[in-house]
Amino acid sequence: MAGHKAPKRHPRGGFQPGPAQLALEAMIRERLSAVIAAERGAHRLTQEELAERAGIHVTTIGKIERGRQVPSLALFALLAKALACSPVDLLCRILPEEPSAYEDRAVALVRGFLAADRAKLVPVLEAIAGLHSRP
């Protein structure tokens, strides 16, 4: 393939991650620590309580919240369960958001309106957002 570079071999075998993978891993590590800490806080749990619910050691929670450790998939699933959510929901909060087809369609519809009509949509959208954010 023209323009395609082969991955570099790691000295101990295997391949070195490329810049895109390294950047994504750093972003995930940073967001994961923030999301876990925020979810724990929202549930009014101490690190010790979360660790107990997940069946792991409290130092592991500390390492994850400080960005020093990225959990395995099994540990990630245990944390999600301890935080009363699905692993998918937790993962969606960590990964970068990409617009959905609905978002793209909504933006296209709004762009089709005249500016004056768009201004009338704002209170309607705010009201819908307010209904969505209610407990």
For residues 117-122, average pLDDT: 86
Please check whether residue 14 is in contact with residue 42, taking contact to mean a CB–CB distance below 8 angstroms: no
Q: Give the Å distances, CA to CA, from 65 to 28, 41, 70.
A: 12, 12, 9
Greatest alpha-carbon pair distance for the chain in Å reads: 63
Query: Phi-psi region for residue 69, left (φ > 0), alpha (ψ -120 to 50) or beta?
Result: beta
For residue 28, pLDDT beyond 90? no
The full length of the chain comes to: 135
How much is the pLDDT for 105? 82
Decide if pLDDT at 43 tops 90: yes
Instruction: Say whether pLDDT at 18 is over 70.
Output: yes
CATH of 19-94, one of 3.40.50.720, 1.10.10.10, 1.10.260.40, 2.10.109.10: 1.10.260.40
Residue 15, beta-bridge partner list: 9
pLDDT of the residue at 122:
85
Q: What is the mean pLDDT of residues 96-119?
A: 80
Taking 60 as the threshold, does the pLDDT of residue 88 lie above it? yes
**Mean pLDDT on 46-75:** 95
Say how far apart CA 69 and CA 61 lie, in whole Å: 9
pTM: 0.60
Residue 124: half-sphere exposure toward Cβ, Cα within 13 Å: 6
Enumerate the CATH 1.10.260.40 domain ranges in the chain, comma separated: 19-94
First to last CA, the chain: 53
Q: What does the alpha-carbon distance between residue 106 and residue 129 come to, in Å, rounded to a whole number? A: 14
Residue 41 has pLDDT above 90, yes or no: yes
